């Protein structure tokens, strides 16, 4: 039996962020150990909105003035008011060494019945500095 070859993942950087405020939980693990294999994004807000990624594509990163931005995209399932559907997402993590808070921005996209793309949710979270970290991945 032939082994299925793993999808190649070339991450620019890895990042981790977590936040829990009341019943709202956000966890982002992007390219741990510079591999896409265990990447995960979870967001739960109260009882009416939840998301879990099924696939996260390789990250890209930008550094500027000491700060870093990690951007990744992928697919997952979004549940709003008890209705679950497949969705694409994009996440941006911004690490700002000059501020006690960093940012996580999460966008969800879907197609309507006419095939037009729409943004379902745009979520911006302030993350305490100690709960968001971005690290460069070594080049090949």
> Please, which pLDDT band fits residue 138 given cuts at 50, 70 and 90?
confident
26, 104 Cβ separation under 8 angstroms? yes
What is the structure's pLDDT at 80? 85
Do the domain assignments include residue 2?
A: no
Question: How do residues 30-72 score in pLDDT, each as one tens digit?
Answer: 999 998 889 999 999 877 889 999 999 999 999 887 799 999 9
Query: What token pair was written down for 66?
Result: 């000491």
Q: Phi and psi for 57 in degrees, rounded to 5?
A: -85, 170
pTM reported for the whole predicted model: 0.85
Tell me how far apart the alpha carbons of residues 111 and 120 are, in angstroms, rounded to a whole number.
10
> Please, which pLDDT band fits residue 28 given cuts at 50, 70 and 90?
very high
Q: Which of 60-64, 90-94, 120-124 has the highest mean pLDDT?
A: 90-94
Do the domain assignments include residue 4?
A: no
Do the domain assignments include residue 140?
A: no
The 3-state secondary structure of the chain, one letter per residue: CCCCCCCCCCCCEEEEEEEEECCEEEEEEECHHHCHHHCEEEEEECCCEEEEEEEECCCEEEEECCEEEEEEEEEEEEEECCEEEEEEEEEEEEECCCCCEEEEEEEEEEECCCCCEEEEEEEEEEEEHHHEEEEECCCC
Residue listed under structure tokens 């979004």: 78
What is the structure's pLDDT at 5? 46
Count of Cβ atoms closer than 10 Å to residue 119 Cβ: 10
Q: Is the pLDDT of residue 6 over 70?
A: no
Q: What is the mean pLDDT of residues 103-112?
A: 88
Do the domain assignments include residue 136?
A: no
Do the domain assignments include residue 92?
A: yes
Query: What token pair was written down for 86?
Result: 């497949």
Do the domain assignments include residue 121?
A: yes
What is the structure's pLDDT at 9? 61
Do the domain assignments include residue 60?
A: yes
Range of the domain at 78: 13-131
What is the structure's pLDDT at 3? 46
Q: Is the pLDDT of residue 93 over 80?
A: yes
> How many structural domains compose the chain?
1
């Amino acid at each position: 039996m032939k082994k299925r070859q793993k999808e190649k993942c070339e991450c620019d950087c890895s990042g981790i962020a977590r936040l829990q405020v009341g019943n709202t939980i956000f966890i982002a693990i992007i390219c741990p150990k510079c591999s896409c294999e265990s990447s995960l994004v979870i967001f739960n807000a109260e009882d009416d909105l939840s998301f879990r990624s099924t696939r996260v594509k390789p990250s890209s990163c930008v550094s500027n003035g000491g700060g870093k931005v990690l951007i990744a995209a992928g697919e997952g399932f979004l549940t709003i008011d008890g209705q679950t559907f497949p969705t694409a997402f994009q996440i941006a993590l911004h690490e700002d060494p000059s501020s006690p808070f960093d940012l996580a921005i999460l966008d969800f996209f879907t197609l309507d019945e006419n095939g037009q793309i729409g943004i379902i949710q745009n979520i911006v979270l302030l993350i305490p500095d100690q709960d968001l970290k971005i690290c460069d991945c070594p080049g090949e």
